[in-house]
């Protein structure tokens, strides 16, 4: 079974988490073109990327860095603030 070795929750089944998509930085500003490009377009080849993952039971958001070619998890960080994904 696929598991995440989370520094905060320990070794948990991946099925307890929900992937909420690629972390693309804050898009709260009114630059609609940047929003469109950030949301709908990007490099989607096999790569190392950061994603938002939500742990349902703990009700916590995480930023997970993962290799999309191998599914290897590189780093799991707790997202304490909404702005954490800025600049990724």
Partner 1 sequence: MALRLLKYAFDRDYAEPRWFNTPATLRDQYDVVIIGAGGHGLAAAYYLARHHGITRVAVLDKGYLGGGNTGRNTTIVRSNYLTPEGVNFYDRSVKLFEGLAHELDTNLFYTKRGHFTLAHNESTLRTARWRAEVNKHYGIDSRLVDASEVKRACPEIDLECGGQHAILGALYHGPGAIVRHDAVAWGYARAASRLGVEIFQQTEVTAVALTHNRVCAVETTRGRITTGKVLSAVAGATPTTLKMVGLPSPVEIVPLQACVTEPMKPWLNTIIVSGSLHVYVSQSARGELVMGASVDPAELHSTRSSLEFVTSLSDQMLDLFPFLAGVKINRQWAGMADMTPDFAPVMGRTAVEGFYLDAGWGTWGFKATPVCGETMAFTVAHDTNHRLLDAFGMERFERMTMLGEKGAAAVGH
Spatial separation of the C-alpha atoms in residues 50 and 20, rounded to whole Å: 11
Q: Residues 60-79: x/- map of binding to partner 1 (CB under 8 A)?
A: ------x-xxxx--------
Q: Which residue has the tokens 């960080």?
A: 77
Spatial separation of the C-alpha atoms in residues 51 and 41, rounded to whole Å: 15
Which helix (H) or strand (E) segment is 18 a member of? strand 17-22
Residue 30 or 71 having the CB closest to partner 1: 71
Q: Provide the 8-state DSSP code for 50.
A: E
Residue 29 or 41 having the CB closest to partner 1: 41
Among residues 11, 28, 30, 45, which is the contact residue for partner 1, using CB under 8 A? 45
Q: Residues 3-42: x/- map of binding to partner 1 (CB under 8 A)?
A: -----------xx--xx--x-------------xx-xxxx
């Amino acid at each position: 079974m696929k598991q995440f070795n989370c520094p905060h929750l320990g070794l948990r089944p991946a099925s307890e988490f929900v992937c909420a998509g690629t972390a693309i930085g804050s898009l709260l500003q009114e630059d609609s073109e940047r929003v469109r490009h950030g949301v709908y377009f990007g490099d989607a080849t096999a790569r190392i990327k950061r994603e938002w993952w939500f742990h349902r039971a703990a009700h916590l958001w995480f930023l997970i860095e993962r290799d999309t070619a191998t599914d290897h998890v590189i780093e799991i960080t707790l997202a304490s603030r909404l702005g954490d994904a800025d600049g990724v």
